[in-house]
Amino acid sequence: MPSIINSLESLISSIFGAITAVFTSILAVFQSIFNAFIGVISTAFSALGTTISGLAHTFEGLIKFLLSNIVVIGVVVGAIFLYGVYNQRNGGAVKAKKTA
């Protein structure tokens, strides 16, 4: 008799162990799906942050370039302005010569 009782205890223990393993596996699947979803969101935020950082560095470089060449830019803008004033006072744009 003790061997039948031991066998039944072993069977019941195996059944509960199998049920526990199934629930653990199901929980692991849901946990891996959740981790994958969080990973995708984290990657998206990381990419967005990197993009914003890159744009900030680009504008920083552009502003530094413009400020370091402010005299050259001022001369070019002034020349264009003076050329426009000159054209207005002297009759407009250059025209092609009429041929007979």
Structural tokens at position 43: 């990657």
More confident site: 90 or 67: 67
Question: Cα–Cα distance between 78 and 72 in angstroms, integer?
Answer: 10
CA–CA distance from 28 to each of 14, 24, 53, 55 (Å)? 20, 6, 37, 40
Predicted TM-score (pTM) of the model is 0.52
Q: What is the pLDDT of residues 13-33, one digit of tens each?
A: 999 999 999 999 999 999 999
User: C-alpha angle 8/12/14, rounded to 5°?
Assistant: 115
Q: What is the pLDDT of residues 30-89, one digit of tens each?
A: 999 999 999 999 999 999 999 999 999 999 999 998 888 888 989 999 999 998 888 888
Q: What is the pLDDT of residues 2-16, one digit of tens each?
A: 688 888 889 899 999
